[in-house]
Structure 1
Amino acid sequence: MPNLLKLALLALLFLPLHLSAQDSDGLYNVNMKFYHLDLDIDIDKPKIKGSIYIEFVAVKDQIDELYLDLGEGMKISKIDGASAFEREGEEILVKLSGRPLRKEERGKITVHYEGVPQNEQLDVDGETVTKGLLVKDRGKDKFQSRLLALAAYPQAGYRWFPCRRGIGDKVDSVYVDVTIPVRFSTAVVQEKERKIPYTAVSNGVLEGTEILEDGKKRKFKWRHRHRIAPHHLTVAVSNFAKMEVEYKAKGYSFPINFYIFPEHLEEANATINRSKEIMACLSRTFGPYPYRDEGFSVIELGLPLGLDGMPTQTAVLVEDLRSFHMYQVVHQAANMWFGNHISPEAWQDAWITEALATYAEATWQEYKRGLNVYQIILDQKEYYEGGKLYLDNINEYSQERLSKKGMYVIHMLRGIMGDEYFYQTLKGITELKRGKSTYLSTQRFREICEYYASENEPKDFKYFFDQWVFGEYYPTYKIEYEKTRSGINLRVLQEKIEGQKQFFEMPARIRFTLEDGSTVEKVVQLKALADQTIEVELGKDFNSLEFDPFNWIFKDLQYSREILSSRSPIENMSIKTSQGRRKIALSFASPKKQNIEIQLIQKANGVDILEDKILQSQEIKKVKGKKELSFKLPVPPKSRGVFELKIIGKSDVFSKTIRVTQLEKRFK
């Protein structure tokens, strides 16, 4: 489990997430409204010195104090607007000057502070990740340059400026002034040496710069006029090369800015060139970009960040911009809608934002290459372990589960709702059409889904959320069918794996391929039963049948069996896979002597394989009794593929679709 996220969520467990929340000590007796940070950053000896002006509103009468948090290594010299202050560890009690504030009355203080943030080094998915004040030196001699960045996502903005912990204490806007020495570094750009000035980048839009101290220093004035949580603030300083593209949509446009190490401009070209498409895809999925009046930025840090980067507001931080890390930009950009603009109401609701950001990776592939490649991304994110999305115990938290299982739950939700209502729901949430709160709970998410899906008839998704969000595991099916004059008799056998408490109820699609090559789709309702028989009316002859062909149900489909007669059935069929489904162990029994044919078919993917192809066909003569076989699929560890295994006897035909996943990353 990534320790960083676990620690962050442990902190959230004990913090109210509504701005108006209070506890017995008065820790949450005010709502923070506005921050103005004025920082002076020393590049050579990394250190912060500056102030933060804070405006707040009392949530009850007789407020004469408030609490702030500030990380170790940062010292407060004075607080304007306070008669006194006390500090214990990272907690600061501020005694306000003047008379106590009345409810809804506005107050203000200015905290003067300085120091070096105490960093955390944590293991995130096997990588050592540093949070706090990040420093990276690049190059040698005249090409030497330095990066400084203040980054503390998640839940650690207090490590570098006085604020309040937690995701619930959003301010309405924030100003960030950053003063740095006027400095240049030499870099080779397009085979020429160039002097690149140091730039300070923060959230929102740069509204101006100011030269100070007779040209020795420059102040960068950043303004962000949207609600923002402290941990979504960032500052990055280096000799960045800035590249800008303009994203245009109906009725508005905004810049997409890239702050890149100048020596990496060439390798960033693919991501820069795709950025408008990424924004178009995400806008189509989630609605208009919520910060379109200020633009969107991508900042290269050259440091391992874990978590696929950091979604600081209006600006995402990434390790680099090489094309095979483009998914990091997609993932973190999606957080601008769900994560930054729309935030979890409580720590248990964090699965929604993480699931949707991961789902964006799949929709990006669908946008570029279609549903077949979209499905490949889903294959790579399969999660067959136990565990819930909405947790009862913080110690059960798993970022992998929230990301992978959560992504598939969003996919299935799209399946049961249909595209029209699904996308209406996502856009309705981000555009605040179903309420003005920018906090989203699991219960509210379900209610909004039901509202949009109920346009023609009432929908109740309680069963879905109970199974997939509040429950564990997945259904395990065996499908059997027999043709009738009007269609088929379908039998669905459902098994429980160890630890599974319930059977699953789900709608399922069945696709029939007719004799003329056309297809017809039927939807059946699978009940939470061990054994269910369903009559499916078709009224036409068909050649083949596929159960849940587009994997709208996350499941283990052990096999599909077409029953031709009852004379010579194949019994005890078992098809097991391992090694990313490359290795297949097949066993069955034939009570009567018969010839059995085994076929391996490579399925079309719509990209480089345009039609199904039989790779292997083997007939086993005079089989009687138990038979065991094993073989490997011809797929290298860095590749993927979809195959169908068929076992054909006299009286029945078994088939299983095998989706081979990538075992090794192509790029590391």
Structure 2
Amino acid sequence: MHRRLIAPGALAAASVLLAIPASAASFTPGAPGIGDPYYPAYGNGGYDVSHYDLRLKYQPATDELEGTATLLAKTTQDLSRFDLDFLLDVSEVRVNGVAAAFSASGEHELVVTPKSPLPKGTALTVVVRYHGVPSSKQAYGFTSWHRTPDGGIGANEPESAWWWFPSNDHPLDKATYDVSVLVPDGTQAISNGTLQSTSSKLGWTRYNWRENKPQTTYLATLAVGRFDVTTGTSEGGVPVINAYSKDLGDNDGAARASVERTGEIVDWLSGYFGPYPFSSAGGYVPNTTTGYALETQTRVYYSPRQFANGANTSVVVHELAHQWYGDSVSVKGWKDIWINEGFARYAQWLWSEHEDEGTAQQLADYVYASHPADDAFWTVKPGDPGPENQFDGAVYDRGALAIQALRNAIGDDAFFAVLKGWPQKYAYGNASVADFQRYAEQVSGKPLAALFDTWLFQPSKPAAPAARAASVAPSARGAAPVQPKSWKRIAATNDVHGAVR
């Protein structure tokens, strides 16, 4: 052993330096919101999550959920404390193995104060133990946890995670997931990705699901109930897992006739959007009273009401299109919602062509002619609709109209190159409307600022010259175009994401 002698004065000075780091003043709390102007309190600052490991136990009879969530993350600033978005009752929080102080704040914040400040770039393992009855919790006057006769469902947009796991709840912070759920024998637990394993012991069965590609928090889903599960593989080689509540009643046949075409539709969409970006596809139809569907990653949530009038492949096309536009490539901010909804709607227009029920151009002409200049439809700006209009029908229909205008402006070769290239350029990441405009200009070689401004950002109906230039205009002598055969089924999905509030 070699001992280094230090003068007493130097030792005292060193002790002071160790006790009071020179950078102590730089440690500040992470922001309680990630900075999205539409939802200022959503998400959090100061850290970035790379993986969620959720180990849960759920009792369908009482809606009681117990959980241990382990978050792997890294600090993005010198951090004195940080928030998680969460509603259930917390019994313990540990940061890097050490017990941390915690408290509830605001409508949905869990404030965590580590025992010691965390320098920027520190790897974090955050463990949260919790319990509660999700259906008893509300934030801002609503719930995103839906009770069913045989269990419960976590699915909503733009938020659903708070009711079943703590998170950094904003699309900017994507992560991979392991979701392990213990439920009574005879009950299934459905989640995203692939089912890794199941095991049963003492009257309980554990389901272990894994989503190995980055996923935003609102796209994570959990469904517990009594399901009939079907499995298969698409012709293109994509594994497909679907699930149907056993008590769907009269909607059962139509639901299956629609959702069982998932593999076919995934392969068809791949021809337009490129290779399917995830390890599995599918959907589930629980016995809920909600009216909306949601593109929960790899495992789409469908309300039975989507099939009340018979088979509905159009809604399946819409939700599966989101797997590229919205799931693999997610919004940077919620104002960029057009990239999700406009392209999912346009996929329905392409499906209409495929089914010989009206071309995309005919649908565009019909939308343009159906809304007079003084219709409030034109006051909604799809490129930045505002939180109150985020899921307005205009974001869907005017949004798809803008895409047809783009197609006509740059020609089919460039348009379909954009359609397929975009999900590959930003795969598993985030992008904005401005990013999309730049990409379309790069691929087409044409300036597109005026077109994007006219169709996405002006709160008025594009004038006849702009409409003619975009090949969307009323037919001769001012007569409205004939309603395409597919229109009613497409329009029926205008409120497909009309979340419960």
* Partner in structure 2 of residue 623 of structure 1: none
User: Alpha carbon RMSD of aligned pairs, Å?
Assistant: 3.1
Correspondence for 2:109 among 74, 91, 97? 91
**Cα 1:379/1:47, change in 2 over 3 Å:** farther
Q: Verify the 8 A CA contact 2:362 2:484 in the aligned structure 1.
A: no
Shift of the alpha carbon at 1:230?
A: 1.3
Residue type at the aligned position of 1:427: K
Q: Verify the 8 A CA contact 2:194 2:280 in the aligned structure 1.
A: yes
CA distance in structure 2 between the aligned counterparts of 1:422 and 1:241, rounded to whole angstroms:
41
State yes or no: 1:410 paired with 2:415. Answer: no
* Partner in structure 2 of residue 450 of structure 1: 441
Correspondence for 2:282 among 289, 297, 301? 297
* Partner in structure 1 of residue 15 of structure 2: none
Correspondence for 1:68 among 71, 76, 84? 84
State yes or no: 1:101 paired with 2:115. Answer: no
**Residues 636-660 of structure 1: CA distance to partner in whole angstroms, max 9, x if unpaired?**
xxxxxxxxxxxxxxxxxxxx46424
**Cα 1:661/1:437, change in 2 over 3 Å:** closer
* Partner in structure 1 of residue 299 of structure 2: 315
Which is higher, the Rg of structure 1 or of structure 2? Answer: 1
Shift of the alpha carbon at 1:218?
A: 0.8
Residue type at the aligned position of 1:80: R
Q: Verify the 8 A CA contact 2:254 2:312 in the aligned structure 1.
A: no
Correspondence for 1:279 among 266, 287, 307? 266
Correspondence for 1:386 among 378, 383, 407? 378
* Partner in structure 2 of residue 256 of structure 1: 240
SS of the residue corresponding to residue 165 of structure 1 reads coil
SS of the residue corresponding to residue 289 of structure 1 reads coil
State yes or no: 1:166 paired with 2:166. Answer: no
Correspondence for 2:66 among 49, 54, 65? 49
Q: Verify the 8 A CA contact 1:389 1:402 in the aligned structure 2.
A: yes
**Cα 1:417/1:263, change in 2 over 3 Å:** same
**Cα 1:11/1:30, change in 2 over 3 Å:** same
**Residues 107-144 of structure 1: CA distance to partner in whole angstroms, max 9, x if unpaired?**
11210001112456999xxxxxx74332222xxxxxxx
Residue type at the aligned position of 1:468: W
Question: Which structure 2 residues correspond to residues 537-556 of structure 1 after superposition, within 5 A?
Answer: 552-556=470-474
CA distance in structure 2 between the aligned counterparts of 1:403 and 1:469, rounded to whole angstroms:
11
SS of the residue corresponding to residue 294 of structure 2 reads coil
State yes or no: 1:134 paired with 2:126. Answer: no
Residue type at the aligned position of 2:57: D
* Partner in structure 1 of residue 354 of structure 2: 367
Shift of the alpha carbon at 1:263?
A: 5.9
Q: Verify the 8 A CA contact 1:281 1:363 in the aligned structure 2.
A: no
Shift of the alpha carbon at 1:429?
A: 1.5
CA distance in structure 1 between the aligned counterparts of 2:436 and 2:196, rounded to whole angstroms:
37
**Cα 1:84/1:281, change in 2 over 3 Å:** same
Question: Which structure 2 residues correspond to residues 550-589 of structure 1 after superposition, within 5 A?
Answer: 552-556=470-474, 559-560=476-477
Q: Verify the 8 A CA contact 2:86 2:110 in the aligned structure 1.
A: yes
State yes or no: 1:208 paired with 2:200. Answer: no
CA distance in structure 2 between the aligned counterparts of 1:246 and 1:168, rounded to whole angstroms:
31
SS of the residue corresponding to residue 235 of structure 2 reads strand
**Cα 1:333/1:136, change in 2 over 3 Å:** same
Q: Which has the higher contact order (CA 8 A, sep 6+)?
A: 2
* Partner in structure 1 of residue 40 of structure 2: 14
SS of the residue corresponding to residue 71 of structure 2 reads strand
CA distance in structure 2 between the aligned counterparts of 1:394 and 1:43, rounded to whole angstroms:
34
**Cα 1:181/1:378, change in 2 over 3 Å:** farther
Residue type at the aligned position of 2:404: H
* Partner in structure 1 of residue 23 of structure 2: none
* Partner in structure 2 of residue 593 of structure 1: none
Greater percentage in strand? 1
CA distance in structure 2 between the aligned counterparts of 1:667 and 1:313, rounded to whole angstroms:
23
CA distance in structure 2 between the aligned counterparts of 1:161 and 1:657, rounded to whole angstroms:
50
**Cα 1:396/1:464, change in 2 over 3 Å:** same
Residue type at the aligned position of 2:164: W
- Unpaired runs of 5+ in structure 1? 1-8, 18-26, 124-129, 138-145, 184-197, 478-503, 509-525, 527-551, 561-574, 576-655
Q: Verify the 8 A CA contact 1:362 1:378 in the aligned structure 2.
A: no
Shift of the alpha carbon at 1:76?
A: 0.3
Shift of the alpha carbon at 1:437?
A: 7.1
* Partner in structure 2 of residue 429 of structure 1: 422
**Cα 1:332/1:121, change in 2 over 3 Å:** farther
Shift of the alpha carbon at 1:436?
A: 6.5
* Partner in structure 2 of residue 570 of structure 1: none
**Cα 1:383/1:230, change in 2 over 3 Å:** farther
CA distance in structure 2 between the aligned counterparts of 1:431 and 1:147, rounded to whole angstroms:
38
Residue type at the aligned position of 1:315: R
Question: Which structure 2 residues correspond to residues 477-488 of structure 1 after superposition, within 5 A?
Answer: 477=464
**Residues 249-291 of structure 1: CA distance to partner in whole angstroms, max 9, x if unpaired?**
2xxx121221013466644443255333311221112111110
Residue type at the aligned position of 2:290: L
Shift of the alpha carbon at 1:10?
A: 8.6
SS of the residue corresponding to residue 369 of structure 1 reads coil
Residue type at the aligned position of 2:112: V
Q: State the TM-score, normalized to the length of structure 1.
A: 0.60
SS of the residue corresponding to residue 175 of structure 1 reads strand
State yes or no: 1:156 paired with 2:157. Answer: no
**Cα 1:373/1:93, change in 2 over 3 Å:** closer
- Unpaired runs of 5+ in structure 2? 1-34, 494-501
Q: Verify the 8 A CA contact 2:364 2:401 in the aligned structure 1.
A: no
**Cα 1:302/1:326, change in 2 over 3 Å:** farther
Correspondence for 2:54 among 18, 37, 40? 37
**Cα 1:409/1:120, change in 2 over 3 Å:** farther
Residue type at the aligned position of 1:135: R
CA distance in structure 1 between the aligned counterparts of 2:178 and 2:457, rounded to whole angstroms:
40
- Count of residue pairs brought into register by the alignment: 440
CA distance in structure 2 between the aligned counterparts of 1:280 and 1:114, rounded to whole angstroms:
41
State yes or no: 1:420 paired with 2:413. Answer: yes
Q: Verify the 8 A CA contact 1:281 1:367 in the aligned structure 2.
A: no
SS of the residue corresponding to residue 339 of structure 2 reads helix
* Partner in structure 2 of residue 545 of structure 1: none
Q: Verify the 8 A CA contact 1:209 1:220 in the aligned structure 2.
A: yes
Q: Verify the 8 A CA contact 2:358 2:484 in the aligned structure 1.
A: no
Residue type at the aligned position of 1:133: W
**Residues 426-477 of structure 1: CA distance to partner in whole angstroms, max 9, x if unpaired?**
2211112xx67721111111111011112xxxx1011101211121333454
Q: Verify the 8 A CA contact 2:263 2:281 in the aligned structure 1.
A: no
Correspondence for 1:400 among 393, 409, 421? 393
Q: Verify the 8 A CA contact 1:331 1:361 in the aligned structure 2.
A: yes
CA distance in structure 2 between the aligned counterparts of 1:221 and 1:426, rounded to whole angstroms:
35
Q: State the TM-score, normalized to the length of structure 2.
A: 0.79
Q: Verify the 8 A CA contact 2:255 2:285 in the aligned structure 1.
A: no
Q: Verify the 8 A CA contact 1:47 1:116 in the aligned structure 2.
A: yes
